[in-house]
Chains A and B, each alone.
Chain A
């Protein structure tokens, strides 16, 4: 065999067939190892990203209960609160009432970063507002106050959130609930059918 046809390493020696075989194996292993290393390194970041996003909607029909974050969630009311003089006419305050039957009681971890939203037909999302508030009954709470209410298994919680929504969106808005323990999945309630 001529020298020109044989690959030569940096010390000037010819490669043996065994060395060439290992060289080829190493090269092939890199094709697997480099993507695998990237996947392992970014796994935690991707998981963290998904834990903060409400991606996959789980539809809940009107009147039904859905198991979510260890408890049973049901939409009881979605309505506009009209007749407020301090709010411009093109904006509508919307009240969302949810009834939750507590199952697993560790709400401080199961309901962590609880987010109640309104989602309209074009995908716009509203979070609860602090700009308007309405008189409430004593037992109504927000999702975050419910976490620290010390609720026991079987307790029924009334959760109410207030939103500010433009008039054009009120025809298609649907309430949605997301909690950290269930993300990236979230509950998307059907509108009241009456």
Chain B
């Protein structure tokens, strides 16, 4: 009798254990998520296939942009954040294809497609020993400007590949809610 009760107890325990493992199992996308490499603005961060050093972040209300010889003025309901960074390939030619602006509330903004034709936009091909640069343009809410994280990776979807995560630091806000030092118009020129 005791033997039988013990057997049932072991069976229940095993079922409970299996259920627990099933519900706490990480999603496959989390298991194969990109591997973060953390750093700050100004530092050189070494990802698996490239190095990145963010030079500066500029905020602007509008963008001026020369598209196929036609002057365009891009407005936004939020603000533009323009990030310039130095890039270097490591020991072989590499691509940098994806960048995301992650605000303090966890809102994620992909680099804007509206400026994908401007000089320095992703994707950028890198060659070893040849200095590379990129200019990333994001269209964000002003409230997501401070203490943001810039996520940069080699591929649009890079499972188990490294992803540079650059802390962009504190930004003081003006009375109207936009970051201090926000300029009226930023020109997306060929040299940057």
**A interface residue numbers (CB < 8 A to B):** 88, 91, 122-127, 129-131, 163-166, 168-169
Contact = CB atoms under 8 A, between A and B. Distances in A.
Contact of A129 (B92, B125, B131): B125
B116 interface: no
A96 to B, nearest CB: 14
Given A125-B92, A164-B127, A169-B128, 10 more contacts: A123-B91, A124-B128, A125-B91, A126-B92, A126-B93, A127-B93, A163-B127, A165-B127, A165-B129, A166-B130
Contacts of A129: 125, 127
B130 A125 contact: no
A168 B129 contact: yes
A129 B128 CA distance: 12
B92 A124 contact: yes
B129 A166 contact: yes
A97 B91 CA distance: 24
A130 B127 CA distance: 11
Contacts of B130: 91, 164-166
B91 A126 contact: no
8 contacts: A127-B93, A127-B127, A129-B125, A129-B127, A164-B130, A165-B130, A166-B129, A169-B129
A52 to B, nearest CB: 13
Contacts of A91: 130
Contacts of A163: 127
B128 A126 contact: yes
B189 to A, nearest CB: 16
Q: 9 smallest A-B Cβ distances: which pairs?
A: A166-B129, A127-B93, A125-B92, A124-B128, A124-B91, A164-B127, A91-B130, A164-B130, A126-B93
B125 A131 contact: yes
A163 B128 CA distance: 11
B66 to A, nearest CB: 18
Contacts of B127: 126-127, 129, 163-165
A122 B91 CA distance: 9
Contacts of A130: 125
B15 to A, nearest CB: 20
Contacts of B91: 122-125
Contacts of A124: 91-92, 128-129
Interface string B18-47: 000000000000000000000000000000
A125 B128 contact: yes
A122 B129 CA distance: 12
A126 B128 CA distance: 7
B91 to A, nearest CB: 5
A126 B90 CA distance: 11
B168 to A, nearest CB: 28
Nearest to B124: A131
